[in-house]
Structure 1
């Protein structure tokens, strides 16, 4: 059976771009040595301070014990604070530390600068093509998210 090359090519290109951005940022920001899942959790907690571990696990499509492990690692690094949820003393709420918010903000700024610089090296037609593709890529992400939410 012959497979259509476009889906595989697209997936490879997206993964490759993401990997190269991460590697470049790690080189430029050696003090921010976070793995992909740690960055994802930290970004989620910054966007939704007070989120619980089970809600974070659902949002990230990870097992609750995996998120607990990530929370413990980030708390030891001084990036997250875990506090008891006053509404349910058995549950924890996650909050980013000011240092983590600053580091994540710096990471986002450097990422945007890196991508902006690399986009400026492309010709106008390529930049327009990528700009036009962003809404479709977001819809693709939404369909993948919806698929993960089905029982």
Structure 2
């Protein structure tokens, strides 16, 4: 059942699942903010660092596509992260006009610390749950990964215009950087 504007009304499974996932992510982020060395990084900066961590040598344009941000926005993030000592921009040997991105040692250390602290935090909280809850969460992981894959596919597909309109609605992820 859909409410006004095609949105799921409060109390539906879709809303409850989304609220739970967003709430968990927000709480993890808040809890991990304290105790990090160096300046606080914005969400988009962390997303870019994590992308470069998983795909060393990625180009700026490709990173922009992956993050669903404008190339000039990613260029600005790259400039800030280079200035702060977290990214190195190297010239692409195949195309001297293009840049390849790599993490610095400081960024690797910061991300390692973040990964460790996140795993410790979540692990402690999982240990507070009973066995049935831990098993239920473990059993839900494949479905959550498939859901993430479907969301990724939908983001990557062109948005078609609803009947009676002349252009597609603006996607919510284009209205600023992720938090």
Interval containing the TM-score (normalised by the shorter chain):
over 0.9
Matched, 1:140 2:147: yes
Candidates 52, 56, 74, aligned match of 1:49: 56
What SS class does the counterpart of residue 34 from structure 2 fall into? helix
Which has the higher mean CA deviation after the structures are superposed, 82-91 or 30-39?
Answer: 30-39
**Higher helix proportion (structure 1 or 2):** 1
Gap runs ≥5 in structure 1: none
Q: CA deviation at 1:32?
A: 5.5
Q: CA deviation at 1:30?
A: 4.8
After TM superposition, the runs of 4+ consecutive aligned structure 1 residues lying more than 3 A away are: 1-4
How many aligned residue pairs are there? Answer: 151
CA contact (8 A) 2:51 2:63 kept: yes
Partner of 2:125: 118
Partner of 1:130: 137
Q: What is the root-mean-square deviation of aligned Cα atoms in Å?
A: 1.3
Partner of 2:92: 85
Matched, 1:67 2:74: yes
- What is the TM-score normalised by the length of structure 2? 0.80
Gap runs ≥5 in structure 2: 159-179
What SS class does the counterpart of residue 78 from structure 1 fall into? coil
